[in-house]
Structure 1
């Protein structure tokens, strides 16, 4: 009788251990070609690359719970073109000449997984943003454009991923000179059209962030251009009024979380075909 009781105890221990293993142990091979990812490209300049928590060139290292790492669920294409579990700072080896902190990417990924876990199983983030870059530097054939295309190609090779959208946050640099601000709309529309053509996705969703700040006097002119984009499946979320760092240019960690959530809301509520 005692022996039967011991066997029953071991049986229940096995069940409990198995349940824990299934729910807590990460068994995903993040480099497996069989792992199909919902891929989102993160492009633009410093506020996309992430300066949340960066003051006087140093990142405070604070990572709020809303942007926690989720092993096997949120992946990042690193600078070496291999997939790994994503964690802030997402752009540390991409925007490598600057100090990177918190950006909108992890908040975005966590929010879409919370918002629609059946629709999005594994999120693959492809960081491409470079601090201080102007819209002209992102034109087709340029270094930044070609770098984005190369990384996007790796992200989907072998059927391992599908690009669902481009997340774009840029324009602060183009607020300095009036000529740049005046030509911004035309150049931005051309960029979006070129990306769609070269990624073989004519209606690829583009979610852009309207500026919260700028480096020069023409912030409102660039913002007007951003809000005036006349292309289908381009959605604009507005960062104006969100908290800035002491430098008056970059978004705070709290504001970056909000931008990520707004980007996610735009995707979740969109009628765009993903």
Structure 2
């Protein structure tokens, strides 16, 4: 009897309970629709991350691994481009001037070909035979961005090596091959190689024969770089020597001013203060040099085009420089 009453009660409860709705849940969504929504979400998140500043990502201002620059500058030459500012007796003092401090808008192509937050010393891990310090690269990038934020995120590509003469930068050599390889890597993803900054020649003041052949070798080097990067009018800003290793500085300086190639501009570092070794520029001089390079780059900068088919490998080549000579 007890069993019968319990059963009837159970039946009554079932009859009184409201029927559950048969509305579809997320488990009933069609797989193709769910995949499409997931892909759209991923695309949105990646887009947000691409344009976020490093400082906004909560990682102390360090560039995230997926950061990409918009404008690329190649830094090549020897020790005064690599930077010896603040280096005394092979020890860098660690002082970073305000003009050279890290910025969320400046990246560096690391020795391992990865974009990372740029900070001094820019050539750390690139110019490996000597202690590196302050060079002109960061001061240049920060000065350019202060005056033209339209360039977007700047990517610096350090390639300089101390104690090298111009013949060591010839096509087929290690330094030249590394420069081209790093330049090509930097341009992947649509970045624009805006210019090459070149500061070299102190080693060629030692031997008269090298000094006499400097102009020919330098012209050949510039032409080869443009040819192999497929950037026939790549702007090049070179620095005329301020110091020397040998007695033939006048011959090399004359050759630098007589390169006579289109879109090659020469700025004069003569008068900038050198350190105790009378060869390498001080930190203050490197800051000044970086600002001089920035002014040289910007003073003849025409209206830039965002895209161009001028180069197969570098689709966003700065074709604007075709419109006005860079002299």
**TM-score class normalised by the smaller sequence:** 0.7 to 0.9
The residue matched to 1:93 in structure 2 has which SS?
coil
The alpha carbon displacement at 1:32 in A equals: 2.5
The alpha carbon displacement at 1:29 in A equals: 5.7
Residues in 1 aligned to 2:216 and 2:168: alpha-carbon distance in whole angstroms? 14
Out of 208, 218, 243, the position equivalent to 1:178 is: 208
- 1:91-122, Cα deviation, whole Å (9 max, x unpaired): 1100012100000000000000001112x110
Structure 1: runs of 5+ lacking an equivalent: 1-21
The alpha carbon displacement at 1:153 in A equals: 1.1
Task: Determine if the alignment matches structure 1 residue 32 to structure 2 residue 66.
Answer: yes
* Structure-1 residue corresponding to 2:137: 105
1:74-85 equivalences under 5 Å are: 74-85=106-117
Residues in 1 aligned to 2:280 and 2:126: alpha-carbon distance in whole angstroms? 18
Task: Determine if the alignment matches structure 1 residue 121 to structure 2 residue 152.
Answer: yes
Q: Which has the higher contact order (CA 8 A, sep 6+)?
A: 1
- 1:156-212, Cα deviation, whole Å (9 max, x unpaired): 1232x1111000000000000000000000000110001011111111000000000
* Structure-2 residue corresponding to 1:263: 293
Q: RMSD of aligned C-alpha atoms?
A: 1.6
Residues in 1 aligned to 2:161 and 2:90: alpha-carbon distance in whole angstroms? 16
For normalisation by structure 1, the TM-score amounts to: 0.87
Residues in 2 aligned to 1:164 and 1:190: alpha-carbon distance in whole angstroms? 20
Out of 243, 251, 270, the position equivalent to 2:273 is: 243
Provide the aligned length of Structure 1 versus Structure 2: 249
**Where in structure 1 do 4 or more consecutive aligned residues deviate above 4 Å?**
none
Q: Is the 8 A contact 2:80 2:200 kept in 1?
A: yes
Q: 1:25 to 1:250 in 2, by over 3 A?
A: closer
1:32-51 equivalences under 5 Å are: 32=66, 35-51=68-84
Out of 64, 80, 102, the position equivalent to 1:69 is: 102
The alpha carbon displacement at 1:262 in A equals: 0.6
Residues in 2 aligned to 1:88 and 1:200: alpha-carbon distance in whole angstroms? 30
The alpha carbon displacement at 1:25 in A equals: 3.4
* Structure-2 residue corresponding to 1:60: 93
* Structure-2 residue corresponding to 1:196: 226
The residue matched to 2:188 in structure 1 has which SS?
helix
* Structure-2 residue corresponding to 1:17: none
Residues in 1 aligned to 2:282 and 2:203: alpha-carbon distance in whole angstroms? 18
* Structure-2 residue corresponding to 1:14: none
Residues in 2 aligned to 1:53 and 1:237: alpha-carbon distance in whole angstroms? 23
